[in-house]
Chain A
Amino acid sequence: MKCNEAITFIHEYMDGDLDAQGRMDLRQHLVDCAACRQRMDQYTRTTALIRSMPRSPVPDYLVDSVMQALPGTRKRQVWTR
């Protein structure tokens, strides 16, 4: 397997999209290729870092301000009167 093919396989593996044969072929390539091992490690660290980003605080008043901005009466109410 060439490295460019292995990189595609790495992406597919990370997305849970690689079949059993592909996983085996990739594993074999990674045993032999330090550069692709490093690449996979970098992707893994990148995605772990994104996932670990803290969430900014959501303003408390948001629900009220959304509700206040809604139009007063929905059309459907008119029909059912």
Chain B
Amino acid sequence: MEGLEPRLAKLARNGDRDAFRELVQLYKDRIYHLAYRMLGNAQEAEDVVQDTFLRVYTNLDRYDDTHKFSTWIYRIGTNLCIDRLRKRKSTLSLDAESSEGEGIDGHDMLSSPDPLPEQQLVLSETQQVIRDAIEKLPAKYKSIVILRYLHDMSLQEISDVLNMPITTIKTRVHRGREALRKKLDHQHFF
């Protein structure tokens, strides 16, 4: 039996915007949380959600419905986040005003995690330590740790999303877990 998402994707491909809206409803939270944790910033998380769905929409013809829709959309979302992290790195020394925004310079774009939404949640001291530890992980470990523990994916699913051999994913999960343990240990957390 055809699953819900492939059916909605097929309808959306034929121009049914309500079907696409349903796909947005189904996945917006997951992509937002992925992007928020990857980028540590609410505005960028929103932008990634926008860009992800725009790409999904414009590439519906290329979606192969023998594969899971979730794998496809997570791949698009994760790649967009990784691109943004790469761009931040390459603009690290930028003092000049950005061409993307008025009065925004490189430092603003590199701003540390947006404190507002999580202040509303009132993070415990422990959670702040965890958030910072995840935030500081190199991107190649960060994406894997987030998919594994915040999105409950298996190693195989992560391998499918990132299009990498499962042996690479295993090694990175191990290293990511060790890096986080070390950071927490360093903070005398244990």
Contact = CB atoms under 8 A, between A and B. Distances in A.
Interface in B23-57: 24-25, 28-29, 32-33, 36-37, 42, 45-46, 49-50, 53-54, 57
B25 A42 contact: no
A46 B177 contact: yes
A77 to B, nearest CB: 4
B143 to A, nearest CB: 14
B99 to A, nearest CB: 21
B13 A49 contact: no
B120 A50 contact: no
Interface residues of B, number: 48
A1 interface: no
Contact of B24 (A11, A12, A59, A67): A67
B117 interface: yes
B87 interface: no
A69 B127 contact: no
A62 B49 contact: yes
Which range holds the interface residue count of chain A?
35 or more
B130 interface: yes
Interface of A: 8, 11-12, 14-15, 17, 39, 41-43, 45-47, 49-59, 62-63, 65-67, 69-71, 73-74, 76-77, 80
Interface of B: 13-15, 17, 20-21, 24-25, 28-29, 32-33, 36-37, 42, 45-46, 49-50, 53-54, 57-58, 60-61, 117-118, 120-121, 123, 126-127, 130-131, 134, 145, 149-150, 155, 170, 173-174, 177, 180-181, 184-185, 190
The 5 closest A-B pairs by CB, nearest first: A77-B15, A56-B117, A11-B174, A50-B149, A66-B53
